[in-house]
Amino acid sequence: MRSTIAAGLACLVLAGCSRAPLTYGISPEEAYARLEKADIAGFRLARQCGILIYLTSQRTPGKAIRWIVTSSGQTVASFQVRLLPEDDGTRAVIEIPADPRGGEIYDGVKEYPRPALNQPLRPAIEELVNAAMEGRHFRTDGLDNSDRVCSIQRSGLESGAFRFSVDDDPGKDSRMTARDLADTERNANPNDYGAPMDRTPGD
């Protein structure tokens, strides 16, 4: 009985039982304050693949927050949540960059050799926003993990069997790439370093 009452109160305070998805019965200012406290750490832990990722934010106070996903110092993804006044509340609009192959990045139908985030991305961001508005941690209930490559590489990272980075050679993990680089440097002719290029004797 107590849980039913609590659920009903949450429905009335946050979204209203008849509201559309990602609309909340609170002001944009309050919605922004809650979005600032979004469980980004939980999102990262749940959705990260085999490469280590970090999320930083760019904020437009009261209006939007953009999160930038980086790995090895490179930007590998980004997404933004804008907050718009709607009737007596607020609507959250999720904006995800387009993929050159069509659609959005990480939309669940593309494959990446070194994925940063499990797919599809949009439902995970929706959960991030809902969790923030409800003042709770990010949950994985009902979220799909459709990226096979992500799952394999994440398993390797968690087991310690493999490490991956965005700079790895195709088909190799970080250890193999580093070993190849060391072999190249060890076998290099020291006389090649600093030698003029594209010159013939007597030039």
Using left for φ > 0, alpha for ψ between -120 and 50, and beta otherwise, residue 195 falls in beta
- pLDDT bin (cut points 50, 70, 90) of residue 159 is confident
Establish if 24 belongs to a structural domain.
yes
Establish if 187 belongs to a structural domain.
no
Q: Please provide the DSSP assignment of 130-158 as one string.
A: HHHHHT-----TT-----HHHHHHHHHHH
Establish if 192 belongs to a structural domain.
no
Give the per-residue pLDDT at 109. Answer: 93
Range of the domain at 100: 12-158
Of the two residues 160 and 184, the one the predictor is more confident about is 160
Number of domains in the chain: 1
Establish if 179 belongs to a structural domain.
no
Establish if 34 belongs to a structural domain.
yes
pTM of the predicted model as reported, rounded to 2 decimal places: 0.75
Dig out the tokens for 129 from the structure: 């926003």
Q: Which residues of 26-47 are buried (b: 16+ CB within 10 A; e: fewer)?
A: bebeebbebbeebbbebbbebb
Task: Find out whether 107 and 97 touch, Cβ atoms under 8 Å.
Answer: no
